[in-house]
A and B are shown apart, each in its own frame.
Chain A
Amino acid sequence: MSSSAFPRPIATTRSATGISTGKLAVWWLIASEIVIFGGVLGSYIMHRIGHPEWASQAEHTNTWLGAFNTIVLLSSSLSAVLAHNAAEMKDGKKAAKFLWFTILGAATFLVVKSFEWTHEINAGLTITSHTFWSFYYTAAGIHGLHVLVGGIIMAVIAVDAAKGKDLQRVEAVGLYWHFVDIVWIFLFPLLYISK
């Protein structure tokens, strides 16, 4: 079969449901993520209410580093939506530039998290030391994995966007990124402020 028969990835741009299929797939992905993160965070909240003594463990989390990472993620969400804005104006190069800024935010977030975890693990606060830390490393770890995966996907899309190719993907990856940001918006008060 010649490639000219299917010159574009139809599945990502058609819109039988009123939403382009690629974007609809991301909405479904986010819907599944709500259950994943909702399950972890819901379990944490219930345990935290049932175990007031966990407050003494939560005192060890670093509020300043958590706040710094919140600023980083909120700023990376801004650059993601600015990339979408540029893509809407068919400016692929500008969209790619903003996506790289978002990737820089993702990298900064992960570096800060690594520093934070190293410090905590060296202090004996490991995933097996207390149930609080089991939840802490699980919730923040799953979130960190999403940041890493988002950064990698964004790099692939940024390379294409710079060539003006498949600009509709810029919005799709942006939606995913904003969801990752929202998860952190709730993780921050749960793990760093409620002490």
Chain B
Amino acid sequence: MSDPHAPHADHSKHYIKIWIALLVLLMVSLVPAIIAQQLHLNITGIVVVTAFAVAFIKAYLVIKHFMHLTIEKKYVGFLFLTMLAFMLVFVGGVSPDVMKHEGQRWTNDAAKKVVDEGMKAEKAGGHGEPEKH
């Protein structure tokens, strides 16, 4: 593949090919969601995994071919990795409290109550009911 930063070279065709690939990937992420919706199938796992796998591939294509980050000075990439590391520290530190509602020596009764009431409302067909605190 030619260097997209070569001086005065026209790379329009290359960019259009990447755009077409991005649109095809969007369709790939939509198909399982549409099938699940139309046939009332409970394949949430497949739908979510496909959608996020496709999202990462799309993001990679945009970063590599539109932003040209892979041929930028390396410290820019390290700068972004540092920011992502900050995010991982944040999520790692907070997630046990937010994602779990009980542990060995603690329980979050308020959160458990909200989840239980929400699940009951969902089973009873109460979509869209406002949250009660």
Contact = CB atoms under 8 A, between A and B. Distances in A.
Interface of A: prevailing SS: helix
Interface in A36-91: 38-39, 42-43, 45-47, 49-57, 59-60, 63, 67, 70-71, 74-75, 77-78, 80-82, 85, 88-90
A166 B8 CA distance: 17
A107 to B, nearest CB: 19
B83 A194 contact: no
A193 B47 contact: yes
A82 to B, nearest CB: 6
B48 A88 contact: no
B119 interface: yes
B98 A46 contact: yes
A117 interface: no
B51 A193 contact: yes
Contacts of A195: 33, 44, 47
A141 interface: no
Contact of A80 (B23, B65, B66, B122): B66
B58 A27 contact: no
B8 A74 contact: no
Interface string B32-50: 0110010000001001100
Interface stretch (A3-11, A143-151, A177-185): A177-185
B16 A181 contact: no
B66 A81 contact: yes
Interface in B76-126: 76, 79-80, 82-84, 86-87, 90-91, 94-95, 98-101, 111, 114-115, 117-119, 121-122, 126
Contact of B33 (A52, A55, A63, A178): A63
A59 B29 CA distance: 17
A56 B80 contact: no
Contact of B62 (A123, A125, A129, A178): A178
B30 to A, nearest CB: 6
Interface of B: prevailing SS: helix
A137 interface: no
22 contacts: A19-B72, A19-B73, A31-B82, A42-B87, A46-B91, A46-B95, A47-B98, A57-B128, A71-B26, A81-B66, A85-B12, A88-B5, A124-B130, A130-B131, A178-B63, A178-B67, A188-B29, A189-B29, A189-B52, A189-B55, A193-B30, A193-B51
The 5 closest A-B CB pairs, nearest first, are A53-B118, A189-B51, A38-B87, A34-B83, A78-B19
Interface of A: 17-19, 27-28, 30-32, 34-35, 38-39, 42-43, 45-47, 49-57, 59-60, 63, 67, 70-71, 74-75, 77-78, 80-82, 85, 88-90, 123-125, 129-131, 174-175, 178-179, 181-182, 185-186, 188-189, 193-195
Given A53-B121, A54-B118, A130-B131, 4 more contacts: A32-B83, A77-B19, A80-B66, A85-B10
